[in-house]
Structure 1
């Protein structure tokens, strides 16, 4: 049909769309809420130059020079000293568990050997499984040493402050000595892949049944909410198994990522994580009324998994409130399991805390999902 443009018809369609937008509250909330969340996450929580990294110290010579060096490290903002450590073995264990990012070892007779020109060495052991968390702090050590020497040696010893430092600082990068980014990113990528696929597949599949009317037939049966949830979730566990096998094989053969830890610990961890994400997808399906809404809500949960879990940015470098939020994200704990097992040779005891956290999150999500599940259609 031809005819001139009608503002009345145009206005009617426009008003109709605004009314429809108001009724679709989930989509409207996503349009408003998602940009705000992204703004706060990228503006405050994301830090490509992490500071205040937990550091342990093993001091065998507590002289003025040692105190000046440690004060300079503390004032630089990169290192936060969380306490002493008793010996090399305890320091290595702290790095392996993830309790600290650095262990600083001051050798015996350090100051005396420095004055006598014996060039003693300070050892800084660093958890290089995340190279971005180590590089900035390690680069700052040169300037910290120069300032400490200049402030400590005065009078007849001032000559030691000129030229090269009278001692050396050796940075021992553990678990990723080559500093390869893929060694850190590839293990963490498994958490993101499983989050994206498991949550979205489950949510969309269940909502699709609701749209087609098959869910109404299921509701008419005596099937209980927990039985429905298990029946819908378990088939997709096999999908998660296939993804994990393909991923681990590619990581080893293509990217040369080591697998030094317990296979049993890895098996428990990824099974718990798969169940958590499938339960989350089931929970989303109870809130969504269309496949589009299910995809939108799934994306809403994936964003924190990428930004707050420590996948892209060091977890220890985020502000405290962001770390609290990240602790509630399942990917945070699974990512720690994968990196500890694959890169640090962890066993089940080393990651038992992460197992407990994933179990608690699974129980909470499952209970909420079952409470929201309705035996009758609205």
Structure 2
């Protein structure tokens, strides 16, 4: 008599467990069906890990090669050409420019067109033959200490073997012992190789990119989800006026963020601001508007706020990895550099580092500022067209 109630209780528990499992299975199937219908989310689930794998596997390289280099040589001898050829053979130096004086060489570095300058004095060969140990100068833009240090180490090794073929016959005695010349390395703008001088200015660009994209990516989708878009459409405003009205407050927010980071960088991290804030300020505002325009475009594509946030991370991830913020830009393969050149963060990192550490001016940064302006115009045009399609 006592076993019957126990068996009945056991059957009830098993029945309840089976029903619970069936309900869980039903919810499991429902979520997969909903995920299949939400194609942007499914694309992010697959796309973001795949993007990380490809970028870290193929594009990221901490041993940069083919760094843009300028030559300032006043000695046209065979020995001088052998020195230049030996440095080129290391694959670290890609000689793209011939400077016509020290001022021209400085301008190439200030404008980020050259990262190194090889300077050979006019009496280099004559003094070497006399055994006077002439000096060969290698000027390095050390704002990126990782790229500069690796290339400088390669230059020192190449210079020691540069003249093996040239020092023959009467000059053979010069090949014995240490090199018959001195390689002087001048690390400009960051002589101590401090990483914070490279990272902290870059944080201005990365923080602005993340925050500006998120803020504006939610602007249109928030109106749609709250049901206030109809009231907005009833107002006598054009799509361009709506876009400008929405992004203008965030321009001020971005300006406050920039000022805060600059203050902290100067007071806590002792990062110098060599250049003029009158140069950095307008170019930063241009960068902010570029990101706001891109974020506004994303908001016209996303159907809800979750998708908008997912899209911003899909843009922010390659921006952070391919812009030169975490890894040397010239360490990436050529195809990755082309992608990086299309990202506004790449150009702004050159601007902010050049102004803060080098003291570059508007003329030096014209190409990067022009790239930001073109990107802004294109992003704004797409945003306006997409917003009109959203209204339809």
**TM-score range with shorter-chain normalisation?**
over 0.9
Query: How large is the Cα RMSD of the aligned pairs?
Result: 2.0
How has the CA–CA distance of structure 1 residues 372 and 352 changed in structure 2, closer, same or farther, with 3 Å as cutoff? same
Structure-to-structure mapping, 1:293-372, within 5 angstroms: 293-372=307-386
Equivalent residue number for residue 126 of structure 2: 112
Q: CA deviation at 1:40?
A: 2.1
Q: CA deviation at 1:119?
A: 0.8
Counterparts of 1:237 and 1:109 in 2: how far apart (Å)? 55
Equivalent residue number for residue 5 of structure 1: 18
Counterparts of 1:291 and 1:197 in 2: how far apart (Å)? 15
Equivalent residue number for residue 267 of structure 1: 281
Q: 1:198 aligns with which of 212, 216, 229?
A: 212
Give the stretch that moved more between structures: 251-260 or 136-145: 251-260
Q: CA deviation at 1:360?
A: 1.3
Conserved? CA contact 1:61–1:109, under 8 Å? yes
State how many pairs are aligned: 378
Counterparts of 1:367 and 1:336 in 2: how far apart (Å)? 26
User: TM-score, normalization: structure 2?
Assistant: 0.90
Q: CA deviation at 1:173?
A: 0.9
Counterparts of 2:287 and 2:94 in 1: how far apart (Å)? 32
Counterparts of 1:351 and 1:83 in 2: how far apart (Å)? 18
Give the stretch that moved more between structures: 201-210 or 337-346: 201-210
Return 5+ residue gaps in structure 1 as ranges. Answer: none
Conserved? CA contact 1:262–1:348, under 8 Å? no
Structure-to-structure mapping, 1:251-262, within 5 angstroms: 251-262=265-276
Structure-to-structure mapping, 1:84-233, within 5 angstroms: 84-233=98-247
Q: CA deviation at 1:205?
A: 4.4
> Greater CA radius of gyration, 1 or 2?
2
After superposition, the C-alpha distances for 1:340-359 in whole angstroms (9 at most, x for unaligned) are 21112122222222222112
Q: CA deviation at 1:370?
A: 1.4
How has the CA–CA distance of structure 1 residues 376 and 45 changed in structure 2, closer, same or farther, with 3 Å as cutoff? closer
SS at match of 2:165: helix
Q: CA deviation at 1:150?
A: 2.8
User: TM-score, normalization: structure 1?
Assistant: 0.94
Q: CA deviation at 1:156?
A: 4.5
Conserved? CA contact 1:264–1:348, under 8 Å? no
Give the stretch that moved more between structures: 284-293 or 123-132: 284-293
Q: CA deviation at 1:324?
A: 1.6
